[in-house]
Amino acid sequence: QVQLVQSGAEVQKPGASVKVSCKTSGYTFTDYYIHWVRQAPGQGLEWMGWIKPKTGDTNYKQKFQGRVTMTRDTSISTGYMEMTRLTSDDTAVYYCARDSGLTYWGQGTPVTVSS
């Protein structure tokens, strides 16, 4: 069965960086885009961008350009989302999801930014 398993919770200081992983199984990794979505505490869902695992091509929401980098390692069917220059506004649960319909989701990775 399709599974997306994310790395564990992170606590970072303002100005630091965080890298979240999303290990996939149950399908051919290079056949489907990986999207990243975040949810601040008590808030709605915000799409961040995608990576095309086959080529490494990416597309980021404009507000994240220059601060977010999505990468992948096809040898271990894993996608990554790295965010730099963290602020308290980046405190959220970060999800990976497969394909444009966001059909399958990871369990979420809580990221807390606090001094």
Partner 1 sequence: DIQMTQSPSSLSASVGDRVTITCRASQGIYNYLAWFQQKPGRAPKSLIYDASSLQSGVPSKFSGSGSGTDFTLTISSLQPEDFATYYCQQYNSYPFTFGQGTKLEIK
Q: Considering the complex, what minimum distance in angstroms separates the CB of residue 101 from partner 1? A: 4
103 lies in the binding site for partner 1 (CB under 8 A)? yes
Q: In this structure, what token pair is assigned to residue 30?
A: 């290079």
Which of 27, 54, 58, 105: binder of partner 1 (CB under 8 A)? Answer: 105
Q: How far is the CB of 28 from partner 1 (least distance, A)?
A: 18
Beta pairing partners, 38:
46, 94
Residues between 44 and 83 that touch partner 1 (CB under 8 A): 44-47, 49, 59, 61-62
Interface with partner 1 (CB under 8 A): 35, 37, 44-47, 49, 59, 61-62, 95, 100-108
